[in-house]
């Protein structure tokens, strides 16, 4: 069911410093910060030849990244995103297997303008999984 790895998201305590490190130290192609109020994050996209990295920083009150950074003050991998062809079919299959979808359970429009869902990390060996319909 799952396809390509779309991105790995890293929560960071200092977005400018992390973006500069990827650009200067690692020599990656780094985009400009984008606010995503629906998801409570500011994101910087990093384009790699085979996937993307997303640097996440809290935006607004009660950002989901805030509690993560409280537990991981120097930052850390927050989630990984797999591509699916049909997000509703994927959801139906996952739920039939007992996997839990976070939030309302309805797809939201994600950072790339495509429908996304998040799956409970406790159902997937401690890893928060995002599914994105491509
Ligand atoms: Co993501």
pTM: 0.93
Whole domain around residue 94: which residue ranges?
5-133
Encoded tokens for 111: 């950072």
- E strand segments, the chain: 5-11, 29-30, 34-36, 41-47, 52-58, 76-84, 108-109, 115-119, 129-133
DSSP label of 50: S
For residue 115, the model assigns a pLDDT of 96
Q: Cβ distance 102 to 108 under 8 Å?
A: no
C-alpha 39 – ligand 1 centre gap (Å)? 10
- Report the pLDDT value the prediction gives residue 39, as an integer from 0 to 100: 86
Q: Which residues are catalytic?
A: 130
pLDDT in tens, 101-127: 999 999 999 888 899 999 999 999 999
**What SS3 state is found at 23?**
helix
CATH number at residue 52: 3.10.180.10
Rounded distance from Cα 111 to ligand 1 centre (Å): 7
> For residue 97, how far is its CA from the centre of ligand 1 (angstroms)?
23
What are the C-alpha distances in Å from 108 to residues 50, 73, 111? 25, 28, 10
Whether 116 contacts 104, CB under 8 Å: no
Q: Which residues lie near ion ligand 1 (Cβ < 5 Å)?
A: 9, 81, 130
Low-confidence residues in the chain, pLDDT < 50? none
Q: Which two three-digit tokens encode residue 127?
A: 């890893």
At 38 the pLDDT is 83
Give the burial class of 125: count Cβ atoms within 10 A of its Cβ; 0-12 exposed, 13-18 middle, 19 or more buried. exposed
Count up the domains in the chain and report the number. Answer: 1
Query: What pLDDT is stored for residue 15 in this prediction?
Result: 98
Round to whole Å and give the CA distance between 85 and 10: 24
């Amino acid at each position: 069911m799952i396809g390509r790895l779309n991105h790995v998201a890293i929560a960071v305590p200092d977005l400018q410093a992390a973006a500069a490190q990827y650009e200067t130290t690692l020599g990656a192609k780094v985009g400009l910060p984008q606010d995503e109020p629906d998801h409570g994050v500011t994101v910087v996209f990093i384009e790699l030849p085979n996937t993307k990295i997303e640097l996440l920083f809290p935006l607004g009150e009660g950002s989901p990244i805030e509690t993560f950074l409280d537990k991981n003050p120097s930052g850390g991998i927050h989630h990984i995103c797999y591509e699916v062809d049909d997000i509703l079919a994927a959801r139906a299959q996952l739920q039939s297997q007992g996997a839990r979808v976070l939030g309302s359970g309805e797809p939201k429009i994600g950072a790339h303008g495509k429908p996304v869902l998040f799956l409970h990390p406790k159902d997937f060996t401690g890893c928060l999984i995002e599914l994105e319909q491509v």
